[in-house]
Amino acid sequence: MKKILVDTWAWSAMTNRRDTEHELAKTTNKRLADAGYHYVTTNFILDETYTLIRMKLHHRGAVEFGHMIKQIKAAEEITVVQITAELEEAAWEIFERYDDKDFSFTDCTSFQVMILMSITEAFTDDHHFEQFGFVIYP
């Protein structure tokens, strides 16, 4: 089964009906699901997403999103990788090395997870993933 990392942009755009990229994210989600991708995300990505949804929508929206994540995780439709101290250290090395890029630290943790899990694709519109050498959707 092919794996794809789902980034904050995808979660937020799929959740927020008022997001200008909502329909694009929904369409991409359907296309990836139909192609049989297994979704992978991280606790750092979810942290960003909960906060973003709360800021753009409201607390209730963030809570509902959290419940949805718990349901799909329980159904084994998604893998949520916990960023350990070891992963943080490896991500820090990426963050430190690329002073010419605007990578967020969370991006660097995602890159490290993708490297370790041999994931080459990300569901995001964040061009930083492309800059690091990954394929992005949409």
Distances (CA, A) of 22 to 8, 9, 63, 83: 13, 10, 19, 28
Question: Rounded to two decimals, what is the model's pTM?
Answer: 0.96
Residue 93: the pLDDT is: 98
Residue 104: the pLDDT is: 98
Q: pLDDT tens for residues 25-73?
A: 999 999 999 999 999 999 999 999 999 999 999 999 999 999 999 999 9
Q: What is the largest CA-CA distance in the chain?
A: 41
Residue 50: the pLDDT is: 98
Q: pLDDT tens for residues 76-132?
A: 999 999 999 999 999 999 999 999 999 999 999 999 999 999 999 999 999 999 999
Can you list the domains of the chain with their CATH numbers? 3-137 (3.40.50.1010)
Q: Locate 131 and state its tokens.
A: 């800059």
What backbone phi and psi angles, to 5 degrees, belong to 53?
-65, -40
Residue 86: the pLDDT is: 98
Residue 13: the pLDDT is: 98
For residues 80 and 138, give the distance between their C-alpha atoms in angstroms, rounded to a whole number. Answer: 21
Cα-Cα-Cα-Cα dihedral sign, residues 7, 10, 15, 18: positive
Residue 38: the pLDDT is: 98
Residue 99: the pLDDT is: 95
For residues 35 and 31, give the distance between their C-alpha atoms in angstroms, rounded to a whole number. Answer: 6
Spatial CB neighbours of 127, under 8 Å, sequence gap ≥ 6: 136
